[in-house]
Amino acid sequence: MSAPPVARRLREGQLKKSPIREIMKLADRRNIVAMGLDPDDVISFAGGWVNHEAPDALRAEYARVADDPRLFHELGAYSPTRGLPRLRESLVRVDAELYGTKSLADEHILVGGSSTQLTHTLFTALLDPGDTVVLFDPSYANYGPQLELGPQGLEIAWLEVFDADGWAYMPDPDVVIERFDALLSESQPRLLLFSTPDNPTSQLIRDDVFFELLRMSEEADCFVVVDFAYRAQCFRQPEPDHFSASPAEYPNLIRLHSNSKWCRGLGRRLGWIEADPAVVSAVEVVQQSTALCPDSVHQHTLAAYLDAALEDGSLISYMDDTRELYETAARHTVDCVRRYLRMPCLDAEGGLYTVVDVGGDGDSFVRDLLAATGVIFVPGSGFGASLTNGVRISYGPLVHDLDRIEEGLQRVGSHVGGNQAYS
């Protein structure tokens, strides 16, 4: 006997697997051993996660919750679907204080289980079957598979923002705007989605391009969803103006946030959106049938920490220190790429990554590299056609081990012989 068949879209391979997850399977300890490699000797640049310490004061708040029987009991209850009012108010204050966001209010906030869950919930709340969504090429590899789980028949229109020949991000902003204008005319998209700083390139969209895309989208009744997962890892100071763009001023703007990256809350799942109240109400209806409500313990603890850390100034100090940590790792990684690989790469403006032009098929390069050197990269093709000849290198998990970063890139450099291209 066997189980009944799973959904047709899975049986027929219509739902794509994440290329990052596929590489992580390749890097599984059992597979590494089967390849004849020592797992402890493998150096992975594949992980898209942060590795700095969470604030001590945040950990202390969790201890207080655990030590207070009454509070622990109370936090076992459902929170409102939109999240605890105290956390929503804290998030408004933090954004105003750190980024100068104006006119943001409680009515603009909805807290969810994670930014991943909220992305899917947004697709369900905003999109109809057959709608078109514009993604940057390159884009975060999970956007496409998430869209495939949305309403049936969604189409993706790719907006090319990367010059593979010159290995540069948005070298000509006017061309990007012209391409988007053409997409608006040809495809009548319902939604534009991108991140800044970007995954995989760690580049920031220019302010003039951001606000022009936002204006054009508003005229075309198109939502703009901006994924701010890496906003806390922005190396440019002062931060760009688009970091403070408010849905109170731009009703078609939706800002997506994650608790994962800034305080290393990857496993403590929590995210939130900021949007026009009509959008918040629509997402709330959908969330009632998906996540129901976000985790009460995480919400209470985060709100208590933010309130205290904002008041005593420790939040800003913590964010400054962690940003400097990643900026140092980014500079070191790029320097090692240029010294040992002598291949084109991007100077990170934030986030956890750089992308490198290996001069040939990135998928083959990654698999050959693992077998030959015990070093793992992620092929660029999973992020878009423009990175077919590239790989993504993440310094996030190795932020405390710069020597390990250098050792890994030295190995790669020895393998490729310092050539300008891989063949």
pLDDT in tens, 370-393: 999 999 999 999 999 999 999 999
Distance CA 36, CA 52 (A): 32
pLDDT at position 7 is: 81
Whole-number pLDDT of residue 418:
46
- Asked if residue 81 belongs to a domain, the reply is yes
The answer to whether residues 121 and 41 belong to one domain is no
Domain with residue 338: its CATH number is 3.90.1150.10
User: Do 215 and 264 lie in a common domain?
Assistant: yes
173-218 tens-digit pLDDT: 999 999 999 999 999 999 999 999 999 999 999 999 999 999 999 9
Q: Evaluate whether residue 2 is within a structural domain.
A: no
Say if residue 163 is in the same domain as residue 306.
Answer: yes
End-of-domain residue from the set 313, 328, 363: 313
Q: Are residues 299 and 336 in the same domain?
A: no
- pLDDT for the residue numbered 29: 82
What is the per-residue pLDDT for 17? 66
Phi, psi of 371 (to 5 degrees): -65, -35
Last residue of a domain, one of 280, 313, 346: 313
Positive or negative, the CA dihedral 137, 141, 145, 147 is: negative
Which positions ≥6 away from 19 have C-beta within 8 Å?
A: 141, 378, 379, 381, 382
Quick one: 262 and 381 in the same domain? Answer: no
Please state the pTM of the whole predicted model: 0.95
The structural domain count of the chain equals 2
Residues of the chain with pLDDT under 50: 418-423
| 206 and 354 co-located in one domain | no
Owning domain of residue 281 = 56-313
Predicted local distance difference test score (pLDDT) of residue 24:
67
